[in-house]
């Protein structure tokens, strides 16, 4: 089945540790995105990538890093510099020049 996978669904980390969230898609989409969602809030864009080996900062990139070594994969690292990392993280992808984005199931990160 084609789609976007994010793993794991729930993730717990100790404060001060870096953690990497995975996002894989087999839709052959060019663009991929990472969003953060806090309770009662909309989605805020962290990073996005329109092509392999290239990515741009979104609205809240501080404390996060990404890589795009393969078209199918866009992992997000939450670093210890992110002051409030506990949140729900959603990955999305889209075809370039087609406007809607399709989302993965999300990863709920809790930093203890």
Segment contacting other proteins (CB under 8 A): 18-26, 68-76, 78-86, 102-110?
102-110
Q: Token pair for residue 50? A: 């329109």
Query: Applying CB under 8 A, does 90 fall inside the site for other proteins?
Result: yes
Residue 60 or 80: the one with the smaller Cβ distance to other proteins is 60
Query: Applying CB under 8 A, does 2 fall inside the site for other proteins?
Result: no
Question: Among residues 63, 52, 56, which one has the least CA distance to residue 109?
Answer: 63
Name the strand (E) or helix (H) holding 28: none
Does residue 48 contact residue 31 with C-beta atoms inside 8 Å? yes
66 to 85, contacts with other proteins by CB under 8 A?
A: none
Of 7, 26, 81, 105, the residue at the interface with other proteins (CB under 8 A) is 105
Does residue 18 contact residue 29 with C-beta atoms inside 8 Å? no
Cα separation, 11 vs 3, whole angstroms: 21
Question: Among residues 60, 26, 28, which one has the least CA distance to residue 43?
Answer: 60
18 to 47, contacts with other proteins by CB under 8 A?
A: 31, 33, 40-43, 45
**Binding interface with other proteins (CB under 8 A):** 31, 33, 40-43, 45, 48, 50, 58, 88, 90, 92, 99-106, 108
């Amino acid at each position: 089945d084609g789609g976007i996978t994010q793993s794991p669904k729930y993730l717990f980390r100790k404060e001060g540790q870096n953690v990497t969230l995975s996002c894989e898609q087999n839709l052959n989409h060019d663009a991929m995105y990472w969003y953060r969602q806090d309770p009662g809030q909309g989605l805020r864009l962290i990073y996005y990538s329109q092509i392999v080996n290239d990515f741009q900062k979104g609205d809240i990139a501080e404390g996060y890093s990404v890589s795009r070594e393969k078209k199918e994969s866009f992992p997000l690292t939450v670093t210890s510099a992110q002051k409030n990392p506990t949140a729900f993280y959603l990955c999305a992808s889209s075809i370039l020049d087609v406007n809607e984005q399709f989302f993965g199931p999300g990863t709920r990160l809790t930093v203890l």
